[in-house]
Structure 1
Protein backbone atom coordinates (compact mmCIF):
# COMPACT_ATOMS: atom_id res chain seq x y z
CA UNK A 1 0.00 0.00 0.00
CA UNK A 2 1.27 3.46 -0.95
CA UNK A 3 0.81 6.61 1.10
CA UNK A 4 1.43 10.33 0.93
CA UNK A 5 2.16 12.61 3.91
CA UNK A 6 1.10 16.15 3.06
CA UNK A 7 3.91 18.70 3.00
CA UNK A 8 1.73 21.72 3.81
CA UNK A 9 -0.54 22.61 6.73
CA UNK A 10 -3.12 24.45 4.61
CA UNK A 11 -6.45 22.60 4.56
CA UNK A 12 -7.30 23.99 1.11
CA UNK A 13 -4.10 22.69 -0.47
CA UNK A 14 -4.52 19.36 1.25
CA UNK A 15 -8.14 18.89 0.18
CA UNK A 16 -7.14 19.76 -3.38
CA UNK A 17 -4.30 17.22 -3.15
CA UNK A 18 -6.58 14.43 -1.97
CA UNK A 19 -9.11 15.28 -4.71
CA UNK A 20 -6.37 15.18 -7.33
CA UNK A 21 -4.87 11.93 -6.11
CA UNK A 22 -8.26 10.27 -5.84
CA UNK A 23 -8.73 10.80 -9.57
CA UNK A 24 -5.13 10.12 -10.55
CA UNK A 25 -4.13 7.00 -12.46
CA UNK A 26 -0.58 7.36 -11.11
CA UNK A 27 -1.32 5.85 -7.69
CA UNK A 28 -1.83 2.22 -6.78
CA UNK A 29 -4.86 1.32 -4.67
CA UNK A 30 -5.35 1.02 -1.77
CA UNK A 31 -3.73 4.33 -0.94
CA UNK A 32 -3.48 6.39 2.26
CA UNK A 33 -2.94 10.08 2.94
CA UNK A 34 -1.93 11.85 6.14
CA UNK A 35 -2.15 15.56 6.83
CA UNK A 36 -1.95 18.04 9.70
CA UNK A 37 -3.70 21.41 9.44
CA UNK A 38 -3.38 24.92 10.76
CA UNK A 39 -6.60 25.99 12.57
CA UNK A 40 -9.53 25.44 10.23
CA UNK A 41 -13.15 24.33 9.93
CA UNK A 42 -14.30 21.99 7.18
CA UNK A 43 -18.06 21.87 6.66
CA UNK A 44 -19.84 18.97 4.98
CA UNK A 45 -20.99 19.22 1.39
CA UNK A 46 -24.68 19.59 2.30
CA UNK A 47 -24.34 22.03 5.17
CA UNK A 48 -25.10 25.72 5.57
CA UNK A 49 -21.67 27.13 6.36
CA UNK A 50 -22.94 30.16 8.26
CA UNK A 51 -25.13 27.93 10.41
CA UNK A 52 -22.16 25.83 11.52
CA UNK A 53 -19.50 28.37 12.41
CA UNK A 54 -18.93 31.32 14.70
CA UNK A 55 -17.93 33.59 11.84
CA UNK A 56 -16.64 36.45 13.99
CA UNK A 57 -14.53 34.11 16.13
CA UNK A 58 -13.09 32.44 13.03
CA UNK A 59 -12.13 35.75 11.46
CA UNK A 60 -10.59 37.10 14.67
CA UNK A 61 -8.52 33.93 15.18
CA UNK A 62 -7.47 33.41 11.53
CA UNK A 63 -9.34 30.12 11.25
CA UNK A 64 -9.65 28.99 7.64
CA UNK A 65 -13.14 27.88 6.61
CA UNK A 66 -13.74 25.62 3.63
CA UNK A 67 -16.11 22.94 2.37
CA UNK A 68 -15.30 19.34 1.47
CA UNK A 69 -16.77 17.08 -1.21
CA UNK A 70 -18.19 14.52 1.23
CA UNK A 71 -21.20 14.81 3.51
CA UNK A 72 -21.31 14.68 7.28
CA UNK A 73 -20.86 17.44 9.84
CA UNK A 74 -18.53 20.36 10.43
CA UNK A 75 -15.12 19.59 11.93
CA UNK A 76 -12.59 21.86 13.64
CA UNK A 77 -8.92 21.02 13.17
CA UNK A 78 -5.64 22.50 14.33
CA UNK A 79 -2.02 21.37 14.57
CA UNK A 80 -3.01 18.96 17.34
CA UNK A 81 -5.18 16.98 14.93
CA UNK A 82 -4.06 14.31 12.48
CA UNK A 83 -6.14 13.57 9.39
CA UNK A 84 -5.98 10.31 7.49
CA UNK A 85 -7.62 9.19 4.29
CA UNK A 86 -8.12 5.97 2.38
CA UNK A 87 -8.66 5.61 -1.36
CA UNK A 88 -9.94 2.16 -2.34
CA UNK A 89 -11.76 0.60 -5.30
CA UNK A 90 -15.49 1.23 -4.87
CA UNK A 91 -16.25 -2.43 -5.58
CA UNK A 92 -14.12 -3.44 -2.58
CA UNK A 93 -15.85 -1.15 -0.11
CA UNK A 94 -19.48 -1.13 1.01
CA UNK A 95 -20.48 2.53 1.15
CA UNK A 96 -20.89 3.75 4.71
CA UNK A 97 -19.00 0.83 6.26
CA UNK A 98 -16.25 2.63 8.12
CA UNK A 99 -15.37 -0.13 10.57
CA UNK A 100 -13.36 -2.31 8.20
CA UNK A 101 -11.80 0.66 6.43
CA UNK A 102 -10.38 2.31 9.56
CA UNK A 103 -9.27 -0.99 11.12
CA UNK A 104 -5.54 -0.30 10.40
CA UNK A 105 -5.83 2.96 12.37
CA UNK A 106 -7.68 1.35 15.29
CA UNK A 107 -5.23 -1.56 15.39
CA UNK A 108 -2.28 0.85 15.48
CA UNK A 109 -3.88 2.81 18.32
CA UNK A 110 -4.43 -0.41 20.25
CA UNK A 111 -0.76 -1.25 19.79
CA UNK A 112 0.16 2.20 21.12
CA UNK A 113 -1.89 1.67 24.27
CA UNK A 114 -5.38 2.99 23.47
CA UNK A 115 -6.86 -0.51 23.74
CA UNK A 116 -10.41 0.70 24.37
CA UNK A 117 -10.65 2.66 21.12
CA UNK A 118 -13.54 1.37 19.01
CA UNK A 119 -15.65 2.28 16.01
CA UNK A 120 -19.20 3.06 17.05
CA UNK A 121 -22.35 4.64 15.70
CA UNK A 122 -22.39 5.72 12.09
CA UNK A 123 -18.86 7.02 11.59
CA UNK A 124 -17.06 7.73 14.88
CA UNK A 125 -14.10 6.26 16.75
CA UNK A 126 -14.54 6.66 20.50
CA UNK A 127 -12.86 5.80 23.76
CA UNK A 128 -14.68 5.64 27.07
CA UNK A 129 -17.76 7.02 25.34
CA UNK A 130 -15.96 10.13 24.06
CA UNK A 131 -15.37 10.84 20.40
CA UNK A 132 -11.86 11.52 19.10
CA UNK A 133 -12.36 10.66 15.43
CA UNK A 134 -15.05 11.44 12.88
CA UNK A 135 -15.12 10.02 9.36
CA UNK A 136 -16.80 10.85 6.07
CA UNK A 137 -16.98 9.01 2.75
CA UNK A 138 -17.80 9.64 -0.89
CA UNK A 139 -17.57 7.65 -4.13
CA UNK A 140 -16.57 8.95 -7.58
CA UNK A 141 -15.54 7.23 -10.80
CA UNK A 142 -15.23 3.73 -9.34
CA UNK A 143 -13.23 4.82 -6.30
CA UNK A 144 -14.30 5.32 -2.71
CA UNK A 145 -12.62 7.97 -0.64
CA UNK A 146 -12.87 7.99 3.15
CA UNK A 147 -11.26 10.60 5.35
CA UNK A 148 -11.15 10.90 9.11
CA UNK A 149 -9.77 12.95 11.94
CA UNK A 150 -7.72 11.91 14.96
CA UNK A 151 -7.81 14.36 17.85
CA UNK A 152 -4.35 13.88 19.30
CA UNK A 153 -3.73 17.12 21.19
CA UNK A 154 -6.40 19.51 19.89
CA UNK A 155 -7.34 22.77 21.63
CA UNK A 156 -10.80 21.64 22.75
CA UNK A 157 -11.73 25.14 23.91
CA UNK A 158 -11.27 26.38 20.36
CA UNK A 159 -13.46 23.52 19.10
CA UNK A 160 -16.32 24.78 21.26
CA UNK A 161 -15.81 28.46 20.41
CA UNK A 162 -15.27 28.10 16.66
CA UNK A 163 -18.26 25.80 16.20
CA UNK A 164 -20.51 27.63 18.64
CA UNK A 165 -23.36 28.97 16.51
CA UNK A 166 -24.11 32.54 17.60
CA UNK A 167 -27.49 33.67 18.89
CA UNK A 168 -28.72 34.94 15.53
CA UNK A 169 -31.84 33.06 14.58
CA UNK A 170 -30.90 31.03 11.50
CA UNK A 171 -33.27 28.61 9.81
CA UNK A 172 -32.39 26.45 6.85
CA UNK A 173 -32.69 22.97 5.38
CA UNK A 174 -28.96 22.32 5.64
CA UNK A 175 -27.68 19.22 7.42
CA UNK A 176 -26.76 20.30 10.94
CA UNK A 177 -23.84 18.92 12.94
CA UNK A 178 -24.54 16.97 16.09
CA UNK A 179 -22.15 18.06 18.82
CA UNK A 180 -20.71 15.19 20.84
CA UNK A 181 -18.46 14.84 23.85
CA UNK A 182 -14.94 14.83 22.52
CA UNK A 183 -11.51 13.99 23.87
CA UNK A 184 -7.89 13.81 22.79
CA UNK A 185 -6.40 10.34 22.32
CA UNK A 186 -2.93 11.34 23.55
CA UNK A 187 -3.60 10.72 27.24
CA UNK A 188 -4.75 7.15 26.54
CA UNK A 189 -1.48 6.10 24.89
CA UNK A 190 1.44 4.32 26.55
CA UNK A 191 3.91 6.57 28.43
CA UNK A 192 6.51 6.40 25.66
CA UNK A 193 4.04 8.16 23.33
CA UNK A 194 2.90 10.86 25.77
CA UNK A 195 5.53 13.43 24.80
CA UNK A 196 5.12 13.17 21.03
CA UNK A 197 3.98 16.08 18.91
CA UNK A 198 1.39 15.48 16.18
CA UNK A 199 4.00 14.98 13.46
CA UNK A 200 5.83 12.37 15.53
CA UNK A 201 2.50 10.71 16.32
CA UNK A 202 1.79 10.50 12.57
CA UNK A 203 5.14 8.84 11.96
CA UNK A 204 4.50 6.29 14.73
CA UNK A 205 1.15 5.40 13.17
CA UNK A 206 2.79 5.00 9.76
CA UNK A 207 5.42 2.69 11.25
CA UNK A 208 2.73 0.56 12.88
CA UNK A 209 0.53 0.35 9.78
CA UNK A 210 3.44 -0.53 7.48
CA UNK A 211 5.03 -2.77 10.12
CA UNK A 212 8.49 -1.21 9.99
CA UNK A 213 10.91 -0.05 12.66
CA UNK A 214 11.82 3.37 11.25
CA UNK A 215 10.03 6.05 9.27
CA UNK A 216 12.85 5.87 6.71
CA UNK A 217 11.86 2.27 5.98
CA UNK A 218 8.24 3.32 5.50
CA UNK A 219 9.17 6.11 3.11
CA UNK A 220 9.95 3.63 0.35
CA UNK A 221 6.15 3.24 0.13
CA UNK A 222 5.57 7.01 -0.07
CA UNK A 223 4.29 8.66 -3.25
CA UNK A 224 6.17 11.77 -4.44
CA UNK A 225 4.34 14.57 -6.21
CA UNK A 226 5.71 15.72 -9.55
CA UNK A 227 5.79 19.29 -10.80
CA UNK A 228 2.84 18.45 -13.03
CA UNK A 229 0.93 17.07 -10.04
CA UNK A 230 1.51 20.28 -8.10
CA UNK A 231 0.30 22.46 -10.98
CA UNK A 232 -2.95 20.48 -11.28
CA UNK A 233 -3.47 20.60 -7.50
CA UNK A 234 -3.10 24.40 -7.56
CA UNK A 235 -5.82 24.62 -10.23
CA UNK A 236 -8.21 22.54 -8.11
CA UNK A 237 -7.45 24.62 -5.02
CA UNK A 238 -8.17 27.91 -6.78
CA UNK A 239 -11.31 26.63 -8.48
CA UNK A 240 -12.83 25.02 -5.41
CA UNK A 241 -11.33 25.35 -1.95
CA UNK A 242 -10.24 29.00 -2.24
CA UNK A 243 -13.56 29.87 -3.90
CA UNK A 244 -16.09 31.84 -1.84
CA UNK A 245 -18.96 30.49 -3.92
CA UNK A 246 -17.99 26.90 -3.08
CA UNK A 247 -17.47 27.52 0.63
CA UNK A 248 -20.45 29.81 1.29
CA UNK A 249 -22.49 30.09 -1.90
CA UNK A 250 -23.21 26.35 -1.94
CA UNK A 251 -25.13 26.68 1.34
CA UNK A 252 -28.84 25.82 1.15
CA UNK A 253 -31.32 28.71 1.18
CA UNK A 254 -31.72 30.05 4.69
CA UNK A 255 -33.21 32.90 6.68
CA UNK A 256 -31.60 34.99 9.41
CA UNK A 257 -33.16 37.22 12.05
CA UNK A 258 -31.03 39.75 13.94
CA UNK A 259 -32.79 41.73 16.63
CA UNK A 260 -31.52 44.04 19.36
CA UNK A 261 -32.88 46.82 21.55
CA UNK A 262 -30.86 50.03 21.73
CA UNK A 263 -31.52 53.25 23.66
CA UNK A 264 -32.58 54.82 20.38
CA UNK A 265 -34.98 51.99 19.52
CA UNK A 266 -35.21 48.34 18.52
CA UNK A 267 -33.85 47.02 15.21
CA UNK A 268 -35.16 43.71 13.85
CA UNK A 269 -33.42 42.77 10.57
CA UNK A 270 -34.53 39.69 8.63
CA UNK A 271 -32.64 38.24 5.65
CA UNK A 272 -33.46 35.66 3.00
CA UNK A 273 -30.17 34.23 1.72
CA UNK A 274 -29.85 32.05 -1.37
CA UNK A 275 -26.70 30.89 -3.15
CA UNK A 276 -24.76 32.84 -0.53
CA UNK A 277 -26.32 36.19 -1.50
CA UNK A 278 -28.96 38.39 0.13
CA UNK A 279 -32.16 37.90 -1.88
CA UNK A 280 -34.53 39.81 0.39
CA UNK A 281 -34.11 41.87 3.52
CA UNK A 282 -36.63 43.63 5.73
CA UNK A 283 -35.73 45.87 8.66
CA UNK A 284 -38.40 46.37 11.30
CA UNK A 285 -38.32 48.36 14.54
CA UNK A 286 -39.48 51.37 16.51
CA UNK A 287 -36.48 53.52 15.62
CA UNK A 288 -36.77 57.01 14.06
CA UNK A 289 -35.10 58.38 10.95
CA UNK A 290 -35.46 61.23 8.49
CA UNK A 291 -35.10 58.85 5.53
CA UNK A 292 -36.91 55.65 4.56
CA UNK A 293 -35.11 52.49 5.73
CA UNK A 294 -35.98 50.89 2.39
CA UNK A 295 -32.86 52.61 1.03
CA UNK A 296 -30.74 50.49 3.38
CA UNK A 297 -32.62 47.33 2.45
CA UNK A 298 -32.11 47.94 -1.27
CA UNK A 299 -28.38 48.53 -0.74
CA UNK A 300 -28.03 45.13 0.92
CA UNK A 301 -30.01 43.09 -1.62
CA UNK A 302 -27.74 41.15 -3.99
CA UNK A 303 -24.68 41.40 -1.77
CA UNK A 304 -22.73 38.36 -0.61
CA UNK A 305 -23.87 37.27 2.85
CA UNK A 306 -20.39 37.96 4.07
CA UNK A 307 -19.53 40.05 7.12
CA UNK A 308 -16.87 42.12 5.33
CA UNK A 309 -19.12 42.83 2.32
CA UNK A 310 -22.14 43.80 4.45
CA UNK A 311 -19.95 45.94 6.70
CA UNK A 312 -18.46 47.82 3.75
CA UNK A 313 -21.94 48.39 2.28
CA UNK A 314 -23.29 49.84 5.53
CA UNK A 315 -20.19 52.00 6.10
CA UNK A 316 -20.99 53.77 2.82
CA UNK A 317 -24.43 54.81 4.11
CA UNK A 318 -25.14 57.65 6.52
CA UNK A 319 -26.98 55.40 8.95
CA UNK A 320 -27.93 58.27 11.25
CA UNK A 321 -30.44 59.31 8.58
CA UNK A 322 -32.27 56.03 9.07
CA UNK A 323 -31.61 55.07 12.70
CA UNK A 324 -31.46 58.34 14.62
CA UNK A 325 -29.69 58.15 17.96
CA UNK A 326 -28.22 54.65 17.39
CA UNK A 327 -24.43 54.65 16.79
CA UNK A 328 -23.49 53.47 13.32
CA UNK A 329 -20.96 51.03 14.78
CA UNK A 330 -23.70 49.31 16.80
CA UNK A 331 -25.92 49.02 13.75
CA UNK A 332 -23.12 47.54 11.67
CA UNK A 333 -22.21 45.08 14.42
CA UNK A 334 -25.80 43.89 14.57
CA UNK A 335 -26.57 43.62 10.86
CA UNK A 336 -23.21 42.69 9.37
CA UNK A 337 -21.59 40.61 12.06
CA UNK A 338 -22.58 37.52 14.03
CA UNK A 339 -22.95 37.60 17.79
Structure 2
Protein backbone atom coordinates (compact mmCIF):
# COMPACT_ATOMS: atom_id res chain seq x y z
CA UNK A 1 0.00 0.00 0.00
CA UNK A 2 1.29 3.43 -0.89
CA UNK A 3 0.03 6.44 1.02
CA UNK A 4 0.42 9.97 -0.26
CA UNK A 5 -0.03 13.11 1.74
CA UNK A 6 1.59 16.15 3.17
CA UNK A 7 2.36 16.81 6.79
CA UNK A 8 3.91 20.11 7.73
CA UNK A 9 5.80 19.46 10.93
CA UNK A 10 8.06 22.47 11.48
CA UNK A 11 8.09 24.34 8.16
CA UNK A 12 8.74 28.01 7.46
CA UNK A 13 5.16 28.99 6.61
CA UNK A 14 6.15 32.44 5.35
CA UNK A 15 8.40 30.83 2.72
CA UNK A 16 5.61 28.43 1.81
CA UNK A 17 3.05 31.22 1.35
CA UNK A 18 5.50 33.32 -0.70
CA UNK A 19 6.32 30.39 -2.98
CA UNK A 20 2.65 29.65 -3.63
CA UNK A 21 1.45 33.24 -3.98
CA UNK A 22 1.23 34.35 -7.64
CA UNK A 23 -0.35 37.58 -8.78
CA UNK A 24 -3.73 36.61 -10.23
CA UNK A 25 -3.21 38.63 -13.39
CA UNK A 26 0.31 37.31 -14.08
CA UNK A 27 -0.75 33.80 -15.15
CA UNK A 28 -4.10 32.61 -16.45
CA UNK A 29 -4.63 28.87 -16.60
CA UNK A 30 -7.44 26.51 -17.45
CA UNK A 31 -6.27 24.08 -14.78
CA UNK A 32 -8.38 23.16 -11.79
CA UNK A 33 -8.27 25.98 -9.30
CA UNK A 34 -6.76 25.21 -5.94
CA UNK A 35 -8.88 25.63 -2.88
CA UNK A 36 -7.09 28.06 -0.63
CA UNK A 37 -6.96 26.87 2.92
CA UNK A 38 -5.00 27.66 6.00
CA UNK A 39 -2.00 25.55 6.80
CA UNK A 40 -0.24 25.05 10.08
CA UNK A 41 2.67 23.14 11.50
CA UNK A 42 1.76 19.98 13.35
CA UNK A 43 4.41 20.78 15.95
CA UNK A 44 2.67 24.07 16.80
CA UNK A 45 -0.97 23.02 16.81
CA UNK A 46 -0.40 19.81 18.74
CA UNK A 47 2.18 21.31 21.11
CA UNK A 48 4.50 18.40 20.40
CA UNK A 49 7.74 18.65 22.29
CA UNK A 50 9.96 16.53 20.07
CA UNK A 51 11.81 16.68 16.76
CA UNK A 52 10.82 15.41 13.33
CA UNK A 53 12.83 12.18 13.70
CA UNK A 54 10.87 11.34 16.87
CA UNK A 55 7.59 12.15 15.13
CA UNK A 56 8.43 9.92 12.16
CA UNK A 57 9.30 7.04 14.48
CA UNK A 58 6.00 7.46 16.37
CA UNK A 59 4.05 7.68 13.09
CA UNK A 60 5.71 4.52 11.77
CA UNK A 61 4.97 2.64 14.99
CA UNK A 62 1.34 3.77 14.96
CA UNK A 63 0.86 2.56 11.38
CA UNK A 64 2.49 -0.77 12.19
CA UNK A 65 0.23 -1.25 15.24
CA UNK A 66 -3.05 -0.25 13.63
CA UNK A 67 -2.75 -1.96 10.23
CA UNK A 68 -2.89 -5.71 9.78
CA UNK A 69 0.01 -7.43 8.05
CA UNK A 70 2.11 -4.29 7.75
CA UNK A 71 5.82 -4.81 7.95
CA UNK A 72 8.83 -2.67 7.26
CA UNK A 73 10.68 -3.38 4.04
CA UNK A 74 14.28 -2.26 3.80
CA UNK A 75 15.30 -1.33 0.27
CA UNK A 76 18.17 -3.38 -1.13
CA UNK A 77 21.01 -1.89 -3.17
CA UNK A 78 19.33 -3.36 -6.26
CA UNK A 79 16.02 -1.70 -5.30
CA UNK A 80 17.76 1.65 -4.96
CA UNK A 81 19.47 1.23 -8.35
CA UNK A 82 16.10 0.40 -9.93
CA UNK A 83 14.45 3.41 -8.30
CA UNK A 84 17.25 5.65 -9.56
CA UNK A 85 16.88 4.18 -13.06
CA UNK A 86 13.11 4.79 -13.13
CA UNK A 87 13.65 8.28 -11.77
CA UNK A 88 16.19 9.25 -14.40
CA UNK A 89 14.36 7.58 -17.31
CA UNK A 90 10.88 8.86 -16.46
CA UNK A 91 10.32 11.14 -13.49
CA UNK A 92 13.34 13.44 -13.93
CA UNK A 93 12.57 14.17 -17.58
CA UNK A 94 11.25 17.52 -18.74
CA UNK A 95 8.36 15.75 -20.44
CA UNK A 96 7.26 14.34 -17.08
CA UNK A 97 7.95 17.49 -15.05
CA UNK A 98 6.51 20.04 -17.47
CA UNK A 99 4.64 18.02 -20.10
CA UNK A 100 1.51 17.41 -18.03
CA UNK A 101 1.08 21.09 -17.28
CA UNK A 102 -2.23 22.56 -18.42
CA UNK A 103 -2.38 25.25 -21.07
CA UNK A 104 -1.81 28.71 -19.63
CA UNK A 105 -1.00 32.28 -20.59
CA UNK A 106 1.83 34.19 -18.93
CA UNK A 107 1.59 37.98 -19.01
CA UNK A 108 5.02 39.44 -19.72
CA UNK A 109 3.75 43.03 -19.92
CA UNK A 110 0.11 43.64 -19.05
CA UNK A 111 0.15 47.25 -20.23
CA UNK A 112 1.15 46.19 -23.75
CA UNK A 113 -0.69 42.86 -23.68
CA UNK A 114 2.55 40.96 -24.32
CA UNK A 115 1.92 37.30 -23.53
CA UNK A 116 3.47 33.87 -23.77
CA UNK A 117 1.12 30.93 -24.36
CA UNK A 118 2.28 27.65 -22.90
CA UNK A 119 0.88 24.19 -23.56
CA UNK A 120 2.27 20.92 -22.24
CA UNK A 121 5.04 22.91 -20.60
CA UNK A 122 6.31 24.26 -23.94
CA UNK A 123 6.11 27.76 -25.36
CA UNK A 124 3.43 27.61 -28.04
CA UNK A 125 3.05 31.26 -29.00
CA UNK A 126 4.62 34.61 -28.15
CA UNK A 127 2.56 37.77 -28.57
CA UNK A 128 4.78 40.85 -28.55
CA UNK A 129 3.20 43.05 -31.19
CA UNK A 130 5.34 43.32 -34.32
CA UNK A 131 8.49 42.24 -32.45
CA UNK A 132 9.36 38.66 -33.39
CA UNK A 133 12.87 38.42 -31.93
CA UNK A 134 11.64 35.99 -29.28
CA UNK A 135 10.09 33.58 -31.80
CA UNK A 136 13.16 31.34 -31.40
CA UNK A 137 11.72 30.42 -27.99
CA UNK A 138 8.66 28.76 -29.56
CA UNK A 139 8.74 25.01 -29.03
CA UNK A 140 11.12 24.97 -26.06
CA UNK A 141 10.14 24.18 -22.48
CA UNK A 142 9.04 27.15 -20.40
CA UNK A 143 11.97 26.60 -18.08
CA UNK A 144 14.84 28.84 -16.96
CA UNK A 145 17.80 26.97 -18.52
CA UNK A 146 16.18 26.51 -21.93
CA UNK A 147 14.99 30.12 -22.10
CA UNK A 148 18.38 31.45 -20.99
CA UNK A 149 20.26 29.25 -23.47
CA UNK A 150 18.10 30.40 -26.40
CA UNK A 151 18.41 34.06 -25.40
CA UNK A 152 22.20 33.65 -25.19
CA UNK A 153 22.35 31.67 -28.45
CA UNK A 154 20.49 34.35 -30.40
CA UNK A 155 22.14 37.19 -28.42
CA UNK A 156 18.76 38.75 -27.61
CA UNK A 157 19.10 41.76 -25.34
CA UNK A 158 16.33 44.12 -24.30
CA UNK A 159 14.10 44.95 -21.33
CA UNK A 160 12.18 41.67 -21.61
CA UNK A 161 15.24 39.40 -21.63
CA UNK A 162 15.67 39.83 -17.88
CA UNK A 163 11.95 39.25 -17.26
CA UNK A 164 12.04 36.03 -19.27
CA UNK A 165 14.96 34.61 -17.31
CA UNK A 166 13.33 35.51 -13.99
CA UNK A 167 10.18 33.52 -14.68
Common fold by TM > 0.5: yes
RMSD: 2.6
Contact kept, 8 Å, 2:123 with 2:139, in 1: the verdict is yes
Judged with a 3 Å threshold, the aligned counterparts in structure 2 of structure 1 residues 297 and 275 are, in CA distance, closer, same or farther, namely same
What is aligned with 1:333? 162
> Quick check: which one's strand share is greater?
1
* TM-score scaled by length of structure 2: 0.81
Aligned residues: 163
Contact kept, 8 Å, 2:98 with 2:141, in 1: the verdict is no
Secondary structure at the aligned position of 2:118 is classed as strand
The one-character-per-residue Cα deviations of 1:49-93 (angstroms, maximum 9, x if unpaired) are xxxxxxxxxxxxxxxxxxxxxxxxxxxxxxxxxxxxxx1xxxxxx
C-alpha displacement of 1:153: 0.9
- Kindly indicate whether structure 1 or structure 2 has the higher relative contact order, using CA contacts under 8 Å at least 6 residues apart: 1
C-alpha displacement of 1:168: 5.5
| 4+ runs deviating over 6 angstroms | none
Residue 127 (structure 2) pairs with residue 277 (structure 1): no
Query: Mind listing any 5+ residue stretches in structure 1 that lack a counterpart?
Result: 1-86, 88-144, 212-220, 262-266, 285-291, 321-327
What is aligned with 1:126? none
* TM-score scaled by length of structure 1: 0.43
Equivalent residues in 2 for 1:230-249, closer than 5 Å: 230-249=80-99
The one-character-per-residue Cα deviations of 1:121-179 (angstroms, maximum 9, x if unpaired) are xxxxxxxxxxxxxxxxxxxxxxxx43112221111111101112246632222223222
What is aligned with 2:131? 293
What is aligned with 2:28? 171
> Quick check: which one's helix share is greater?
2
